[in-house]
Structure 1
Amino acid sequence: MRISLRLTPPDAHVIRALTEYGRHLGEAGRSGDASAAAERALAVHARMSRPVPADFDLAQALTGLGTLAADLGRSDDALTVTVSAVEVLRRLENQVYLAPALAELSRRLREAGRGDDALTAADEAVRTLREVAGTNRFAQAGALKHLCETLSDLGRWLNPADALTAVEEAVAVFHEYVADRRAAAKASVTEEPDLADALTGLALCLTRLGQVKQAVDAAAEAVRTHRRLADDLPVVFQPGLARALTALAASQHALGQHAHALAAAREAAELCMAWTRPSPGFFTTRQRQDLDLLAKVFDDLGRGEDADRIRRHSPRA
Structure 2
Amino acid sequence: MEIRRGLCERHGQEEQFVSLLADGLHNTAVYLMECGRWKDALKAADEAVAIHKALATDNPDAFRPGLALALTTLSGAARLMGLRDRALEAAREAIAIRRELSDARPETYRADLANTLNALSIDLGELGLHGEALDAARESVKTYRELAGKHPRAHTYSLPLSLNTLANSLLSHERPDLALEAAEEAVRRFGKLTEEHPGAFRAELAMVLVTLAQGLEGVGRLEDTRDALERSASIYRSLAATAPAAFRPGLAVCLNNLSALLFRTGELETALRTVEEAIDVNTRLARGKAAAFADILNKNWLVKYRCLVGLERFGDAMTAGEKAVRGLRSLAGSAPERYEADLAMILSSTGILLQFAGQPEQALRRAKEAVEVSRRLMGRDPGRHRALLAEHLEKYGNQLFALGRLRQSLAVAEEVLELRREVLEHQGNATTPPTQVRAQAQAQAQAQAAQAALTFGIRLLHCGRRADALPPAQEAVDGFQVLHADAPDAYAASLASALSQLAALLFHAGDGGAALETGARAVDVSRSVADPDTTAFATAAAFSTYGMIAAELGEGNALDLLAEAVDLCRACAEPTGPVGEIQLAQTLTYFGQHLAAVPERHPEALRASEEAVTIIRRLVDAFPLLRSATATALASHGLRLAEAGRAREAADTTKEALELARLLARQDHLAHRDALARALSAFARARLLTGDRSDLAREASAGAVALLERIARDEPAATEPYLREARDTYDRLRQ
**Do both share a fold (TM > 0.5)?**
yes
For residues 226 and 161 of structure 1, the distance between their equivalents in structure 2, rounded to whole angstroms, comes to: 26
1:5 maps to what in 2?
none
2:89 maps to what in 1?
80
Q: 1:203 aligns with which of 202, 209, 213?
A: 213
Deviation at 1:101, TM superposition (A): 1.6
Deviation at 1:277, TM superposition (A): 3.5
For residues 38 and 105 of structure 1, the distance between their equivalents in structure 2, rounded to whole angstroms, comes to: 16
Residues 194 and 132 from structure 1, CA distance in 2 versus in 1: closer, same or farther, beyond 3 angstroms? farther
2:197 maps to what in 1?
181
1:138 partner SS: coil
For residues 322 and 222 of structure 2, the distance between their equivalents in structure 1, rounded to whole angstroms, comes to: 26
For residues 108 and 50 of structure 1, the distance between their equivalents in structure 2, rounded to whole angstroms, comes to: 30
For residues 74 and 17 of structure 2, the distance between their equivalents in structure 1, rounded to whole angstroms, comes to: 15
1:141 maps to what in 2?
157
> Which aligned pairs between 1:73-222 and structure 2 lie closer than 5 A?
73-90=82-99, 91-92=101-102, 93=106, 94-134=109-149, 135-156=151-172, 158-182=174-198, 187-188=199-200, 191-222=201-232
For these two proteins, the number of residue pairs brought into alignment is 300
For residues 62 and 230 of structure 1, the distance between their equivalents in structure 2, rounded to whole angstroms, comes to: 33
Q: 2:73 aligns with which of 58, 64, 67?
A: 64
Q: 1:276 aligns with which of 275, 286, 289?
A: 286
Name whichever of 251-260 and 231-240 sits farther off: 251-260
Residues 70 and 202 from structure 1, CA distance in 2 versus in 1: closer, same or farther, beyond 3 angstroms? same
1:224 maps to what in 2?
234
Give the counterpart letter for 1:101 in structure 2: T
Contact 2:88-2:124 within 8 A present in 1 as well: yes
1:3 maps to what in 2?
none
1:16 maps to what in 2?
23
Contact 2:130-2:173 within 8 A present in 1 as well: no
1:297 maps to what in 2?
303
Contact 1:99-1:126 within 8 A present in 2 as well: yes
Contact 1:160-1:208 within 8 A present in 2 as well: yes
For residues 37 and 100 of structure 1, the distance between their equivalents in structure 2, rounded to whole angstroms, comes to: 22
Residues 31 and 254 from structure 1, CA distance in 2 versus in 1: closer, same or farther, beyond 3 angstroms? closer
Deviation at 1:293, TM superposition (A): 4.7
Q: Deviations over 1:204-241 (max 9, x none)?
A: 22223321100111111110111111111111111000
For residues 199 and 192 of structure 1, the distance between their equivalents in structure 2, rounded to whole angstroms, comes to: 10
Give the counterpart letter for 1:60 in structure 2: L
Name whichever of 218-227 and 114-123 sits farther off: 114-123
Give the counterpart letter for 1:223 in structure 2: A
Give the counterpart letter for 1:155 in structure 2: L
1:309 maps to what in 2?
323
Residues 11 and 80 from structure 1, CA distance in 2 versus in 1: closer, same or farther, beyond 3 angstroms? farther
Contact 1:106-1:117 within 8 A present in 2 as well: yes
For residues 152 and 176 of structure 2, the distance between their equivalents in structure 1, rounded to whole angstroms, comes to: 28
Contact 2:32-2:40 within 8 A present in 1 as well: yes
Give the root-mean-square deviation of aligned CA atoms: 3.3
2:400 maps to what in 1?
none
Deviation at 1:59, TM superposition (A): 3.3
TM-score, L = length of structure 1:
0.79
Deviation at 1:144, TM superposition (A): 1.1
1:277 partner SS: coil
Matched, 1:38 2:52: no
1:137 partner SS: coil
Contact 1:133-1:144 within 8 A present in 2 as well: no
- Greater fraction helix: 2
1:4 maps to what in 2?
none
Residues 162 and 25 from structure 1, CA distance in 2 versus in 1: closer, same or farther, beyond 3 angstroms? closer
Deviation at 1:13, TM superposition (A): 4.2
1:155 partner SS: helix
Contact 2:125-2:172 within 8 A present in 1 as well: no
Give the counterpart letter for 1:100 in structure 2: N
For residues 103 and 12 of structure 1, the distance between their equivalents in structure 2, rounded to whole angstroms, comes to: 26
Q: Deviations over 1:122-162 (max 9, x none)?
A: 22123224334555313202321232233134314533233
Give the counterpart letter for 1:165 in structure 2: E
Contact 2:121-2:169 within 8 A present in 1 as well: no
For residues 167 and 31 of structure 1, the distance between their equivalents in structure 2, rounded to whole angstroms, comes to: 30
Deviation at 1:18, TM superposition (A): 1.5
TM-score, L = length of structure 2:
0.37
For residues 297 and 169 of structure 2, the distance between their equivalents in structure 1, rounded to whole angstroms, comes to: 16
2:197 partner SS: helix
Residues 269 and 51 from structure 1, CA distance in 2 versus in 1: closer, same or farther, beyond 3 angstroms? farther
Deviation at 1:271, TM superposition (A): 1.7
Contact 1:11-1:58 within 8 A present in 2 as well: no
Unaligned ranges ≥5, structure 2: 1-14, 310-316, 336-735
For residues 297 and 109 of structure 1, the distance between their equivalents in structure 2, rounded to whole angstroms, comes to: 26
For residues 225 and 264 of structure 1, the distance between their equivalents in structure 2, rounded to whole angstroms, comes to: 16
For residues 124 and 161 of structure 1, the distance between their equivalents in structure 2, rounded to whole angstroms, comes to: 19
Which of the pair has the greater relative contact order for Cα pairs under 8 Å at 6+ separation? 1
